[in-house]
Amino acid sequence: MRTSISKAGAAAIISVIACSAWADVAGPISLPAPDMFPEGIALANDGTAYVGSLARREIWQVDTKTGIAEPFIGKDADLMSVIGVHVNAAQDTLYACSSDPAQQYDGRPTELVSFDLSSGDVIARYPFPEGGLCNDISELADGTILATDSVHPRIMSLHQDGAFDEWLRDEQFRAEGFALNGIAVSDDQVFTGVFATGALYKIDTSADALMAEQIKIDRPIAGPDGIEVLDARTLIVVEGMAASVLRVQLSEDLLSGTVQNLSQDFQVPTTLALSGDQAIVVQGQLGRFFGMDPSPVEPFELAVISLVR
């Protein structure tokens, strides 16, 4: 951890400490909509989870203490499929990726959308230049919002002054099919993964020039999706194609890592949120959403697993 931090960084650390003090989450948590198809999740400091829906074009709020789930942002927000979501507690703002992974919305541009976290009202929309597919969202210590693009090999950034531009474009991120997916921030390091190739990368934001460096891991990851930081050298990664959640223990220089399977047999996990020593795992049933799995849709649930092994 850095010995000198900004006010924003201090606030982020306080937020992490507050999150670690949450009571245990009892799972599974039911999402009572037959067409929910959840994809993204974000946790607020009070333990409220915000979950995006691929099919309903909505964002739900979930009380993780009681398990009560209900719509928060409805269809009047004019979203497409909601993929990544992110809470900025300091600004009382919720961010969401509005995208069209199933190509249902006649070429509408993918957008990063911001909402007032108190009212649910739309604050602003940020269309991706050149199109693309807004997938996952994270935040730097200075409040800059980062969003991955699963079509173009780039990470977009929304700055505090409202400017929206490319933060990093790198040909290493290019792939057939879904490319960049999950993203997470730890101090001055950004971690991301390419779903189609299984590669994980780190980006040192303190370097003179931004550059993605591949992390050499001891076994392939079949479709890295959501990524969360457990501590400075530990990532928790959703392995989408293997229906698993993994722990990736990194070396001191963060350029290599060993993979441990924490839990498996989910209903197509997409991402997760950390609460103390637990993870809340989104089960998206994506094969059924995209029509690749003809079996009946099962009730949608958020799984809760322990990270203690």
The CATH number linked to 277 is: 2.120.10.30
The secondary structure of residue 14, as a DSSP letter, is: H
In a domain, 80, yes or no: yes
Within a domain: residue 18?
no
Taking the C-alpha atoms of residue 153 and residue 169, their distance in angstroms, rounded to an integer, is: 6
Residue 257 lies in a domain: yes
| Residue 4 within a domain | no
Indicate whether 57 belongs to any domain.
yes
pLDDT at 23: 60
Residue 299 lies in a domain: yes
State the pTM of this model.
0.92
Cα–Cα distance for residue pair 232/213, rounded to 1 Å: 17
- 191 DSSP assignment: E
How much is the pLDDT for 22?
Answer: 52
Which residue range(s) make up the domain with 259? Answer: 27-306
Domain count, the chain: 1
Answer yes or no: are the C-beta atoms of 224 and 198 closer than 8 Å.
Answer: yes
d(CA 179, CA 198): 9
SS3 16: helix
List residues bridging with 283 in a β-sheet.
269
Q: Which residues contact 288 (CB under 8 A, 6 or more apart)?
A: 37, 295, 297
Length of the chain: 309
User: 176 with 196: CB under 8 angstroms?
Assistant: yes
Within a domain: residue 8? no
In degrees and rounded to multiples of 5, residue 110 shows phi and psi of -70, 145
**Does 20 reside within a domain?**
no
pLDDT < 50 regions, the chain: 1-21
